[in-house]
Structure 1
């Protein structure tokens, strides 16, 4: 009986984490709340809050998925193909939500800032700091026009 309960708890946690990712990708970080997660999963708000007791804990649901999503959207063949694929990707709502999250997270003192820093450092290593700065600048200009 205990194994079944533990297995069920892990499945519930996984369901909540997936809901966080789904909501984030569809509507952005600001749309994630206990209410939106509860609605998405059919669980109670209290049940959700027991699994993810804070907005900080909600970030744990990402587990590298944001960086992987950004990576998959880009063509790293050469400098120009990277820029072109980044510009095209900015028209994708999910990609924009990821970039918006990273840009917004750097100004906070939360685990989001740590996540953003890791993401930026990973891309710095992959494409160089100057290129990354250029792409972030492009992103900010694009987001201002959106």
Structure 2
């Protein structure tokens, strides 16, 4: 019986983490609340809170996926194509939510900022410093326009 309970707990945790990813991609970081996760999964708010006790813990559900999603949207064959595909991808809510999360993570607790820096460092490694900084600057401008 204990094995079944452990298996069920793991499935519940995976369900909650997937809900966090889905809500984030569709509606952005601001939409992730205990209530929205509970509604999405059909679990109680208390049940969700036991699995992810803080906003910081919620970021664990999707950190690696942000980097992979962004890279998957880009043509990295040259700087011009990278910029063009970034701007096109930015029109999609999922991509925009990922970039907005990276930019606004400056206000996150230290651990969250460290994880975001890892993602940005990896993007810098793929895109180059100047290209990444230019695209992030463009994104900030696009977000406030």
**How many residue pairs get matched?**
145
Q: Tell me, which stretches of 5 or more residues in structure 2 are unaligned?
A: none
Is the deviation greater in 63-72 or in 4-13? 63-72
Aligned partners of 1:40 and 1:105: how far apart in 2?
A: 25
| Counterpart for residue 115 of structure 1 | 115
Tell me how large the CA RMSD over aligned residues is. Answer: 0.9
Q: Is it true that 1:17 corresponds to 2:17 in the alignment?
A: yes
Q: Tell me, which stretches of 5 or more residues in structure 1 are unaligned?
A: none
> Contact conserved, 2:19 with 2:37, CA < 8 A, in 1?
yes
Aligned partners of 1:117 and 1:74: how far apart in 2?
A: 20
| Counterpart for residue 83 of structure 1 | 83
| Counterpart for residue 65 of structure 2 | 65
Aligned partners of 1:106 and 1:55: how far apart in 2?
A: 15
Aligned partners of 1:35 and 1:126: how far apart in 2?
A: 37
After superposition, give the CA deviation of every residue in 1:33-56 in whole Å (9 maximum; x if it has no partner): 100000000000000000000011
Aligned partners of 1:54 and 1:103: how far apart in 2?
A: 20
**Taking CA–CA contacts closer than 8 Å with sequence separation of 6 or more, which of the two structures ends up with the larger relative contact order?**
2
> Contact conserved, 1:59 with 1:111, CA < 8 A, in 2?
no
Aligned partners of 1:53 and 1:9: how far apart in 2?
A: 15
How far apart are residue 109 of structure 1 and its match? 2.7
| Counterpart for residue 44 of structure 2 | 44
